[in-house]
């Protein structure tokens, strides 16, 4: 039963991947894939890395959402809540502020440094208080701080061009991402994702609360570290490559729960797959939409996500509140 | 193999909740901890379960210092039934009971045949087999209490430490829960249970620990401990102990 959903999701991701490779302002049919020339160039140098990034970013966002909702025992948690996304964004913005727009690697490294800082602060601030509450409060402090510093930098940007660079980057997009982005981002996302996948059992142990988890032999401090590092690496890298793409981590676990059940460990892999599916689909839609400029992926996700979120909120209200 | 505390002291937020508590609890018996609110009953249970480390003194499990027992090993030997643990997610009874096997599982991989038969045995013992696929949100209070107890049983611990397992249960379900505790003791497990109702303790317990202000007022077999004098000293009110050879009921005087 659950295996069937997993297979269906995998099939969906593979299909969405191929659609994503073909879709765009110019449609590239499978017969043209190995023709070479401009079409081949578009396919191999632009579409393929973009689809790879879309799939992996969607996967880590969905996975981190599922892990965080399990850890915080709260169905409304997602990676933006713990401040990693906004701290990575701040790192990227700092690089752009100082004219790093022409050097994508610098922007990437700066964003990863932001994510790393947020992990250390998250553990230092949240560690004393222990439990999920300390974690979430530390995350809120971080994301508020990073958000206001980002706003500050935008407001004092040296010229309108820099402002536009920063704002555009912040909105999150897979436009013009290529193999160099895959090369720097993918290893971090894979590492972080694998680390997050190890948390399943401990998250299950937390279902009955902190004391029961302790009595089952789970080490809360180790779990907190594992989650912070896993999310820092994977979500940090995703933000560093594309900017902030919201809502995926929040929505996806809710979508898979009716099918695979609510046990946290059972939602991890399905959430990763569904996240990949969602982002690949959204990115394909973004590209085939008519218009001169491409709509930003982050904006599309927010527009799609908000009504969906309200729908979910109405459904879960009875239990969560 | 006993579970014992030696001069254990604990403070919570600067307030002492246990003061130099020493005791030894025997296996294959039900030991009930009684006392007024704030007497330190739950704190004593958590210290004995190894969930908190005492500030001074030592807890020993079968003669071994608890602080040297690995969390995994401790979890395999001591099952802890927390007070009012509302599950965060709406899982089925079977999924809930499987959580009890966590201390026995390797880092990766599915549940073994032995794990599954422990789960089935726990469901059977609590009369939950027919409800195995029912979700927690769809259960009655009594069913939920049984499922949670089955979760503890599934871990096949030597000790079961239960914090007010009768809370929010009606009299028939209280009776069922007490029967489960008693049956586990008959299986050879050591049962330590924090109770609020003296008569419930009277029905289920072999030994009683009476607590007052973080200290042990009396400790021993039911008949010796539950005297009118001890109960007065413990709760600050008069009780009448009705006895016909053995104690049959205790009522406020």
**Is the confidence metric ipTM above 0.90 for this complex?**
yes
CB count, 10 Å around CB of B199? 13
In B, which residues are within 8 Å of A206 by CB distance?
88
Q: Is B169 left (phi over 0), alpha (psi -120 to 50) or beta?
A: beta
pLDDT score for A176: 76
Helix (H) or strand (E) holding A41: helix A37-41
Helix (H), strand (E), coil (C) string for A119-135:
HHHHHHHHHHHCCHHHH
In B, which residues are within 8 Å of A204 by CB distance?
99, 102
Decide if B82 touches A, using CB distance below 8 A. Answer: yes
Decide if A259 touches B, using CB distance below 8 A. Answer: no
Residues 36-75 of B with CB under 8 A from A: 46, 49-51, 70-72, 74-75
Q: How confident is the model at residue A130 (pLDDT cuts 50, 70, 90)?
A: low
Decide if B214 touches A, using CB distance below 8 A. Answer: no
Instruction: Say which residue, A265 or A127, is predicted with more confidence.
Output: A265
Give the model confidence (pLDDT) of B232-247 as tens digits.
Answer: 999 999 999 998 888 8
Tell me which of A217, A264, A318, A321 to substitute to probe the interface with B (most B C-beta atoms closer than 10 Å). A217
Q: How many CB pairs under 8 A join A and B?
A: 77
DSSP classification of residue B135: B
The verdict on a CB contact (< 8 Å) between B89 and A212 is no
Looking at chain A, how many residues does it have?
321
> What is the average pLDDT across B18-38?
95
The verdict on a CB contact (< 8 Å) between A208 and B151 is yes
The verdict on a CB contact (< 8 Å) between A215 and B76 is no
Q: Which of A44-53, A126-135, B214-223 comes out lowest in average pLDDT? A: A126-135
Give the model confidence (pLDDT) of B56-78 as tens digits.
Answer: 999 999 989 999 999 999 999 99
Decide if B148 touches A, using CB distance below 8 A. Answer: yes
The verdict on a CB contact (< 8 Å) between B91 and A263 is yes
In B, which residues are within 8 Å of A208 by CB distance?
82, 85, 87-88, 96, 99, 148, 151
Within 8 A by CB and 6+ apart from B230, the residues are B210, B217, B218
Q: How far apart are CA A17 and CA A52, in angstroms?
A: 8
Of B97, B85, B142, nearest to A73 by C-alpha is B85
Is it the case that residue A319 has pLDDT exceeding 70?
Answer: no
What is this structure's pTM?
0.90
Decide if B79 touches A, using CB distance below 8 A. Answer: yes
Q: Locate tokens 């996700």: which residue? A: A301
Is it the case that residue A245 has pLDDT exceeding 90?
Answer: no
> What is the average pLDDT across B140-156?
94
Of B179, B85, B194, nearest to B125 by C-alpha is B179
What is the percent of chain A with per-residue pLDDT over 70, rounded to a whole number? 95
Is it the case that residue A30 has pLDDT exceeding 80?
Answer: no
Compare CB distances from A201 to B92, B105, B148 and report the shortest one's residue: B105
pLDDT score for A320: 46
The verdict on a CB contact (< 8 Å) between A208 and B137 is no
pLDDT score for A321: 41
The verdict on a CB contact (< 8 Å) between A208 and B87 is yes
pLDDT score for B87: 86
B-chain residue closest to A197, CA distance: B108
Tell me which of B86, B88, B137 to substitute to probe the interface with A (most A C-beta atoms closer than 10 Å). B88
Q: How far is A62 from chain B (nearest CA, A)?
A: 18
Token pair belonging to B202: 């009277």
Q: How confident is the model at residue A212 (pLDDT cuts 50, 70, 90)?
A: very high
pLDDT score for A102: 75
Is it the case that residue A302 has pLDDT exceeding 60?
Answer: yes
Decide if A211 touches B, using CB distance below 8 A. Answer: yes
Compare CB distances from B82 to A73, A211, A319 and report the shortest one's residue: A211
Q: How far apart are CA B27 and CA B1, in angstroms?
A: 7
Give the model confidence (pLDDT) of A37-86 as tens digits.
Answer: 777 778 888 889 999 999 999 999 999 999 999 998 888 788 888 889 99
What is the percent of chain B with per-residue pLDDT over 70, rounded to a whole number? 99
Average pLDDT taken over every residue of chain A:
86
Q: How far apart are CA A284 and CA A51, in angstroms?
A: 9
Is it the case that residue B134 has pLDDT exceeding 70?
Answer: yes
CA distances from B56 to B20, B39, B53, B141, B213 (A): 8, 19, 8, 39, 17
Give the model confidence (pLDDT) of A19-28 as tens digits.
Answer: 998 887 777 7
Q: How confident is the model at residue A169 (pLDDT cuts 50, 70, 90)?
A: confident
A47-77 b/e with 16+ CB inside 10 Å = b?
bbbbbbbbbbbbbbbbbbbbbbbbbbbebeb
The verdict on a CB contact (< 8 Å) between B102 and A208 is no
Instruction: Looking at mean pLDDT, say which of A172-181, A306-315, B201-210 comes out highest.
Output: B201-210
B-chain residue closest to A263, CA distance: B91
Contact yes or no for B190/B26 (Cβ under 8 A): yes
Average pLDDT taken over every residue of chain B:
93
Query: Strands B159-163 and B207-212, how do they pair?
Result: unpaired
The verdict on a CB contact (< 8 Å) between B102 and A205 is yes
Q: How far apart are CA A4 and CA B47, in angstroms?
A: 45
> What is the average pLDDT across B118-127?
95
């Amino acid at each position: 039963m659950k295996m069937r959903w997993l297979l269906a999701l995998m099939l969906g991701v593979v299909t969405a991947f191929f659609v994503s490779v073909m879709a765009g302002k110019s449609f590239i049919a499978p017969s043209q894939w190995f023709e070479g020339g401009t079409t081949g160039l578009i396919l191999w140098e632009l579409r393929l890395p973009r689809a790879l990034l879309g799939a992996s970013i969607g996967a880590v966002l969905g996975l981190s959402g599922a892990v965080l909702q399990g850890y915080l025992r709260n169905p409304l948690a997602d990676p933006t809540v713990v401040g990693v996304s906004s701290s990575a964004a701040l790192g990227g913005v700092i690089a752009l502020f100082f004219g790093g727009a022409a050097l994508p690697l610098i922007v990437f490294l700066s964003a990863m440094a932001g994510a790393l800082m947020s992990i250390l602060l998250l553990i230092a601030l949240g560690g004393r208080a222990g439990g999920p509450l300390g974690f979430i409060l530390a995350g809120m402090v971080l994301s508020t701080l990073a958000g206001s510093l980002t706003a500050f930098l935008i407001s004092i940007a040296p010229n309108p061009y820099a402002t536009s660079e920063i704002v555009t980057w912040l909105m999150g997009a897979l436009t013009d991402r290529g193999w160099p982005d895959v090369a720097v981002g993918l290893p971090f996302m894979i590492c972080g994702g694998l680390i997050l996948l190890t948390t399943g059992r401990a998250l299950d142990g937390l279902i009955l609360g902190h004391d029961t988890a302790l009595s089952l032999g789970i080490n809360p401090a180790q779990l907190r570290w594992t989650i912070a590092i896993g999310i820092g690496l994977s979500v940090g890298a995703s933000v560093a490559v594309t900017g902030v793409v919201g809502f995926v981590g929040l929505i996806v676990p809710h979508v898979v729960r009716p099918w695979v059940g609510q046990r946290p460990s059972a939602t991890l892999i399905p959430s990763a797959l569904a996240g990949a599916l969602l982002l690949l689909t959204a990115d394909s839609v973004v590209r085939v939409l008519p218009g001169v400029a491409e709509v930003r992926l982050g904006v599309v996700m927010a527009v799609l996500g908000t009504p969906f979120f309200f729908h979910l909120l109405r459904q879960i209200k009875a239990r969560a509140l | 193999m006993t579970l014992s505390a030696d001069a254990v002291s604990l403070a919570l937020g600067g307030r002492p909740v246990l003061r130099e508590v020493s005791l030894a609890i025997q296996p294959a018996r039900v030991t009930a901890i009684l006392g007024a609110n704030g007497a330190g009953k739950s704190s004593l249970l958590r210290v004995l379960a190894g969930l908190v480390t005492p500030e001074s003194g030592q807890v020993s499990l079968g003669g071994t210092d608890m602080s040297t027992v690995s969390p995994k090993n401790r979890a395999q030997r001591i099952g802890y039934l927390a007070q009012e643990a509302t599950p965060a997610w709406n899982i089925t009874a079977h999924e809930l009971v499987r959580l009890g096997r966590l201390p026995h599982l390797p880092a990766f991989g599915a549940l073994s045949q032995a794990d599954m038969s422990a789960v089935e045995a726990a469901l059977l013992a609590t009369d939950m087999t027919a409800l195995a696929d029912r979700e927690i949100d769809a259960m009655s209070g009594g069913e939920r209490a049984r499922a949670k107890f089955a979760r503890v049983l599934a871990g096949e611990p030597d000790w079961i430490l239960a914090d007010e397992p009768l809370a929010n249960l009606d009299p028939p379900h209280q009776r069922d829960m007490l029967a489960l505790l008693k049956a586990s003791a008959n299986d050879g497990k050591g049962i330590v249970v924090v109770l609020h109702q003296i008569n419930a303790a009277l029905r289920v317990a072999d030994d009683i620990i009476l607590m007052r202000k973080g200290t042990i007022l009396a400790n021993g077999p039911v008949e010796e401990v539950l005297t009118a004098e001890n109960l007065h000293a413990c709760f600050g009110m008069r009780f009448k102990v009705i006895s016909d050879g053995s104690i049959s009921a205790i009522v406020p005087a």
